[in-house]
Structure 1
């Protein structure tokens, strides 16, 4: 279960938004490259379409188990999705 926002500093909350946005872009790009729409990805991964929508908007986080499911449905490895997110300069800066 995710920790409540009150447990994070303002900086951590800002970094969370940047990281989720980068991951969202990576997921959208991967889904489009796989030639899938959101409903098809949902069916192939076992996630709901609404979960896919929230992830692609950057409104939600994802567990490692679910990321594996998404990666498998996209024909990728989870590390490839994270690498695409890390390629976002703003997201990479949150690691400094």
Structure 2
């Protein structure tokens, strides 16, 4: 479970937003490449459609178990989603 925002430093809060947005973009791209809409991805992965929407907006974090479920539904591996997120320049800078 992610730490509540009030327990994070300002930098950690900024980094969280940037990282979630980068992973969100990677998920959208993978979903579109798989030819799925959000409802289809939700059904195939076992997540609710609202959870998929929140993830794709960058409004939520994801557990490693759910990331595996999404990757399977997308026909890829969890490790394939991270390079796309890391390619986001702002997200890459959060590692500095």
TM-score by length of structure 1 reads 0.98
The CA deviation string for residues 51-87 of structure 1, in whole angstroms up to 9 with x for no partner, is: 0000000000000000000000000000100111001
Instruction: Give 3-state SS (helix, strand or coil) of 2:43's partner.
Output: helix
Instruction: Give 3-state SS (helix, strand or coil) of 1:32's partner.
Output: helix
Structure 1 runs (4+) deviating above 4 angstroms are none
User: Which residue is 1:55 aligned to?
Assistant: 55
- Structure 2 residue ranges without an equivalent (≥5): none
User: Which residue is 2:81 aligned to?
Assistant: 81
- Structure 1 residue ranges without an equivalent (≥5): none
Instruction: Give 3-state SS (helix, strand or coil) of 1:36's partner.
Output: coil
Q: How many residues get paired? A: 96
The CA deviation string for residues 19-62 of structure 1, in whole angstroms up to 9 with x for no partner, is: 00000000000000000000000000000000000000000000
TM-score by length of structure 2 reads 0.98
User: Which residue is 2:21 aligned to?
Assistant: 21
Q: CA deviation at 1:4?
A: 1.2
